[in-house]
Amino acid sequence: MTRDMSYDAVMARKNEIMKASLGIDYDDFEQSPIAFDYERMMAGGDFTLEDIARIQAETKVGNTPLYELTNLTEAVREFAGPGRGATILLKDEAANASGSFKARRASVSCYEARRRGYEGVATATSGNYGAAVASQAAMRRLRCIVLQEVFDSRGVGQPEIVEKSRACEAYGAEVQKLSVGPELFYQMLVTLETTGFFNASLYTPFGIRGVETLGAEIGTQVRERYGKDPEAVVVTQAGGGNLTGTARGLRLVGCEDTEIVACSVDLSGLHMGSDTDFNRKSFTTGHTGFGIPFATWPDRTDVPRNAARSLRYMDSYHLVTQGEVFYITELLTKLEGIERGPAGNTSVTAAVALAAQIDRDDLVVVQETEYTGAGKHHNRQLSFARENGIEVRVGDPRENVPGEVIVLPERLDQVAGRPQDLEAVRRSYVKNALRRLPAQEWSENDVAFVAADTHTDEAWVRAALADLAGTPAAGDARTTTPDTHPHARGDANGTSTTGSPR
């Protein structure tokens, strides 16, 4: 009997498809429309940190170098002021097979697929993850299918995504190239069901556990070299797996007091699912179009429950402009002699701004880099921006307008970015949770879960509920409090998105 492959029918079977393609029954962890047993889900597979490091070493992943960016640090100290200008360290994840930290995520998924007897793996991505899965699948002798949103309706592909398609194909993957729109998740489900392949999603426990070794290596390497823990680790924030895995790994080696700083490229006002906006951005990942929505509601992914829960771990959130990142990308090449992709340099840009504000004795770690290539190179991205009618000029980066103007700084001291209101992000999370379950139906467990997921406490959650819903949550006698953040509507910076997996 032929199965109904219409959109509605396939979407109705999504949980069944996920269970077959992952070997994970998410119903086992469900507690309510909001809460689930996160730590028990993460413990599935019984991998120790040492197990994961061993698995990754088998396929050319992990134990990457940590560099001190001496010239960039000195350049920051020239304008930072007396006693300021922390040492900037760089964890060079471009040394992994496939050239990015995503190899860590892919390594455990491909290992698990081989161990469980799947013939192949499939993933939906527009970024480095597709190349990472293809590379790891090749070494594990697995077939690989990568689904990518590559084109707008004119058939024009974003150069960075086109470059990543080439990389996926070079590693032997079959690449299904799609136009921007809502069909990516549907097509992924169809692929999983018709092939019986393993779902190498970015957002499974396997993927996030794979990044824990990155955080653990940073903590261990910094401590061995400098005799203390880093003051801050700066992490590019998109779907949240990078930050989640790194923070968990740092905790595993005892770096409890290290500040976790999220950073994204500010693309406020551009719609990530818009055909017209698709090619008006110079970054296909690491930007607010994914960073904010995935922080404010992680479970917008291709799996029922997302293992990447960045808001649970971040201590602050910094936004930088496209022009600032391109400037730092060029500067990293000229001062430090290493050429890396702009998306990975988002965290370098935020680290410069942070290092200028804190003591010279402190250590700031940029936790990843990525490879660059013809389409990913910042010069090609700037040329593509001009081809799409975007003005590119040198001046004050505060005059940057996403989709209209890219302003390259004139001097390093202009690289400052701006803080994202983390309180607004947390309130947006609560608003999204209220759409799943009315406040009067929240249990004590729901309140505790949201407190953990927003990196707050139960008193904060109850106050937010009373304010946003006008209804006390379970065990709360209060009614309402003044809305001190009226701008926190929906996604905290106004950037809309389809939430497609990256």
Instruction: Note whether 329 and 378 are within 8 A (CB).
Output: yes
CA–CA distance, 172 with 266 (Å, rounded to integer): 34
Provide the pLDDT for residue 1.
Answer: 62
Task: Write the CA distances from 182 to 7, 172, 450, 490, integer angstroms.
Answer: 11, 26, 28, 20
* Region for residue 7 given its phi and psi (left: phi exceeds 0; alpha: psi -120 to 50; beta: otherwise): alpha
Instruction: Note whether 315 and 251 are within 8 A (CB).
Output: no
Instruction: Note whether 164 and 148 are within 8 A (CB).
Output: yes
Provide the pLDDT for residue 125.
Answer: 84
Reported pTM: 0.92
Tokens of 91: 């964890």
**Arithmetic mean of pLDDT, 135-161:** 93
Tokens of 137: 């699948």
Provide the pLDDT for residue 471.
Answer: 59
CA–CA distance, 82 with 70 (Å, rounded to integer): 18
The SS3 of residue 39 is: helix
Eight-state DSSP code of residue 36: B
Residue 348 amino acid letter: V
Tokens of 473: 């949550």
Provide the pLDDT for residue 15.
Answer: 82
Give pLDDT tens digits for 368-417: 999 998 888 999 999 999 999 999 999 999 999 999 999 999 999 999 99
CA–CA distance, 180 with 464 (Å, rounded to integer): 36
What is the rounded (10 degree) CA torsion for 149, 151, 152, 158?
Answer: 100
Tokens of 266: 């500010």
Residue 171: count other Cβ atoms within 10 Å of its Cβ.
20
Average pLDDT score over the chain: 91
**Mapped to the 3 state alphabet, what secondary structure does 235-255 carry?**
EECCCCHHHHHHHHHHHHCCC
Instruction: Note whether 316 and 243 are within 8 A (CB).
Output: no
DSSP characters over 79-127 = HH-TTB-PEEEEE-GGGSTTSSTHHHHHHHHHHHHHHTT-SEEEEE-SS
Higher-confidence residue: 320 or 19? Answer: 320
The two beta strands, 405-409 and 316-320, are unpaired
Residue 490: count other Cβ atoms within 10 Å of its Cβ.
14
Percentage of residues in the chain having pLDDT higher than 90:
78
Provide the pLDDT for residue 472.
Answer: 56
Taking the mean position of all CA atoms in its chain, how far away is CA 373? Answer: 21
CA–CA distance, 472 with 268 (Å, rounded to integer): 33
Provide the pLDDT for residue 80.
Answer: 97
User: pLDDT at residue 494 above 50?
Assistant: no
User: pLDDT at residue 489 above 90?
Assistant: no
Task: Write the CA distances from 43 to 47, 154, 259, 343, 363, integer angstroms.
Answer: 7, 45, 24, 31, 31
Q: Which top CATH class is 58-98+206-419?
A: alpha beta
Give pLDDT tens digits for 44-63: 878 999 999 999 999 999 99
Task: Write the CA distances from 206 to 106, 108, 425, 464, integer angstroms.
Answer: 8, 6, 27, 33
Higher-confidence residue: 7 or 361? Answer: 361
Give pLDDT tens digits for 439-486: 999 999 999 999 999 999 999 999 999 999 875 545 443 322 222 222
* List of E strands, 184-326: 198-199, 232-236, 259-265, 316-320
- H or E segment at 406? strand 405-409
Higher-confidence residue: 141 or 8? Answer: 141
Residue 491 amino acid letter: D
- H or E segment at 13? none
Which fold would CATH assign to domain 7-54+99-203? Rossmann fold (3.40.50)
User: pLDDT at residue 365 above 80?
Assistant: yes
Q: Phi and psi (nearest 5°) for 365?
A: -110, 125
CA–CA distance, 17 with 3 (Å, rounded to integer): 13
Residue carrying the six token digits 């393609």 = 21
Counting runs of H as helices and runs of E as strands, what totals does the chain give?
Answer: 18, 13
CA–CA distance, 247 with 262 (Å, rounded to integer): 11
CA–CA distance, 485 with 194 (Å, rounded to integer): 47
- H or E segment at 158? none
Eight-state DSSP code of residue 2: P
Nearest residue to 277 via CA among 395, 156, 375: 156
